[in-house]
Structure 1
């Protein structure tokens, strides 16, 4: 069986899009949700779209248990800490937590283009504070469009910036997420830098609203 990657919040737009791309890259996906029925529904939807996909719709705790090395957290800020706490028994050292949470402010006029302050410094740092001891946290995936991720006919051709304090954990993310066609993983430094990277999400949302597109990010000049 292929390596299993867990996606918590896999029934949401970003989580589902990530599941689609990971399945397309050859990984088995444990698509997690607080609600078993919703998880199964999302897994069935993905299987209908991609019959060859290895996807399992399960509750979050089971998804983390199934994961070999990587657990992706794709939930709203308000659910972040509670979700981590709910899977703490299964989230053990040796499994990397990739946090995609963005501290978006409530949308004004339907446009979530601002961030809110987080006491820990950033959503990524808050995830690290909430994670069990010994579990490495990496922050990333903040500039990816859920719409583009879900549509395999749309080439990515972009970068995602990751931040983290453990080099080995970032290498796991680079290996797995970097297997997605058209997506390059760029190391943006220690976890404290996530407070800067997370602010790119509302910036891109504003750009996309004004230009009616789904723009991403590309860092030029890298070897």
Structure 2
């Protein structure tokens, strides 16, 4: 895996927790963050499964003890990971999104929570965006976590590319949405730790729906063209 860009000062001393870190998207993000030298805590419903995934990623990125090639990776249940992280990435299936966050509201208070969940449905015609009462998964998270700062990001990044150690550079931009400038800037810096990725401010949290829904279009593109498509913003 190619060398990651230097860490931004904003990320110094920050631990990244990934809830749902044993799933495809969460594992891929955890791999990239650890490869960049960030301490990572894998969260899962099963602490044993989280520990197993953490051990695998530690070996892959050389970060078992926070060595020169990667940050330390550990595993806990989702509650333990939420408590351990300074920046907490939510990468769980949509079906369990609300229940998980309701139960972790106290542990996530005062933290930056990065929601990358896409509410999608599948039928015989393919993939489509599901309606969400609050407007989007990110807005639902903001309602359920009133004492956290919620940012939407990483919705449109291929989990396959993220978790493939042979892919040195992930060719995509990440749209970052939120209502607090300092938090969106921080998450843009986090996106920039992944080689080839750039974080681009995409508007306030109320604009998260169309970004989440666009994943359905990308999945359709991938199926038709047998690709792992991404998004690039021009003239920025």
Encode CA deviations 1:66-102: one digit per residue, 9 max, x unaligned: 112x100001111111111222221121x10100111
**Pairwise CA RMSD:** 1.5
2:210 to 190, 196, 221: 196
Encode CA deviations 1:19-50: one digit per residue, 9 max, x unaligned: 00001111010000111111111111212322
- Give the alignment of 1:8-157 within 5 angstroms: 8-52=19-63, 53=70, 54-68=72-86, 70-93=87-110, 95-105=111-121, 107-109=122-124, 111=126, 113-131=127-145, 133-154=146-167, 155-157=169-171
How far 1:157 sits from its partner (Å)?
A: 2.2
How far 1:143 sits from its partner (Å)?
A: 0.7
- Matches of 1:159 and 1:175, distance apart in 2: 12
How far 1:208 sits from its partner (Å)?
A: 0.5
- Matches of 1:55 and 1:3, distance apart in 2: 13
Q: Is the 8 A contact 1:21 1:152 kept in 2?
A: no
- Give the alignment of 1:143-222 within 5 angstroms: 143-154=156-167, 155-222=169-236
Equivalent position SS for 1:75: coil
CA 1:15–1:110: 2 relative to 1, 3 Å: farther
Task: Give the TM-score normalised by structure 2.
Answer: 0.88
Q: Is the 8 A contact 1:2 1:26 kept in 2?
A: no
Query: Unmatched 5+ residue regions in structure 2?
Result: 1-11, 64-69
Q: Is the 8 A contact 2:105 2:144 kept in 1?
A: no
Query: Unmatched 5+ residue regions in structure 1?
Result: none
Pick which of 161-170 and 50-59 moved more. Answer: 50-59
Task: Give the TM-score normalised by structure 1.
Answer: 0.93
CA 1:110–1:75: 2 relative to 1, 3 Å: farther
Aligned residues: 217
How far 1:108 sits from its partner (Å)?
A: 2.2
CA 1:19–1:167: 2 relative to 1, 3 Å: same
How far 1:2 sits from its partner (Å)?
A: 5.2
